[in-house]
Amino acid sequence: MSKYACALFILAATRISSAQSVPRDAWLMQNYRFTGPPAPGSVRPTDPVVSELWRIQDAVHWMMLRAKSDQDYESALFAASQATVNAQAIQAATERVDAAAAAKAAAQAMQQPAQAQPGTAPPSPQYLIAFRDHTVEIASQYWIQGPLLHYLTPAGAHVQTFLDRVDRGLSIRLNRELNLDFRLPE
């Protein structure tokens, strides 16, 4: 290396080091806004099963990328199929947690005592109807007509659905926990 090149290198190094004398956090503080912790109740706790499935999914994703870069396409395809299975398991576990949370919220909403006015009749029972798509509906009345379940919502809307869409076991269990007699034909 010539003397001229060494001099340019030393000059460039001193300029870089003088430019780096700015505090390290200055760039970070100028380019990002820190808002602090989230509001209480805005972050839902994560189900441990879902957390573990995501950890496994990350590992499978890494294996798939590694196999692809090594041109091991058989392993990459196997990892991709495993990633698909993991994604379906994550969706099912998340839906299960969401359905349980919805049922708990509906049960808590029904257990809150209504403000009774003098001379009014007590409120009618509120039945919980769980469906196979992991939703829960509240019904003030219900009846069966052939293959259809008819029910009235607390707002008075008439809804009808096929009985095979109803999760019978969960519906009966939820209503039993509320001490309500809920019966569906077999």
Tens-digit pLDDT profile for residues 94-134: 777 777 777 777 777 777 655 545 555 556 788 999 999 88
Q: What is the pLDDT of residue 165?
A: 92
27 in any annotated domain: no
Q: What is the pLDDT of residue 94?
A: 78
Q: What is the pLDDT of residue 57?
A: 83
pLDDT in tens, 132-147: 988 888 888 899 888 8
Q: Which residues of the chain have pLDDT under 50?
A: 17-19, 116
Q: What is the pLDDT of residue 155?
A: 78
Q: What is the pLDDT of residue 123?
A: 64
For residue 165, the domain's CATH number is 2.30.30
Query: Do residue 61 and residue 95 come from a single domain?
Result: yes
Q: Which residues of 111-146 are buried (b: 16+ CB within 10 A; e: fewer)?
A: eeeeeeeeeeeeeeebbbbbeeebebbbbeebeeee
22 in any annotated domain: no
149 in any annotated domain: yes
Query: Do residue 98 and residue 131 come from a single domain?
Result: no
What is the residue range of 77's domain?
Answer: 48-109
Query: Do residue 96 and residue 55 come from a single domain?
Result: yes
Query: Do residue 164 and residue 137 come from a single domain?
Result: yes
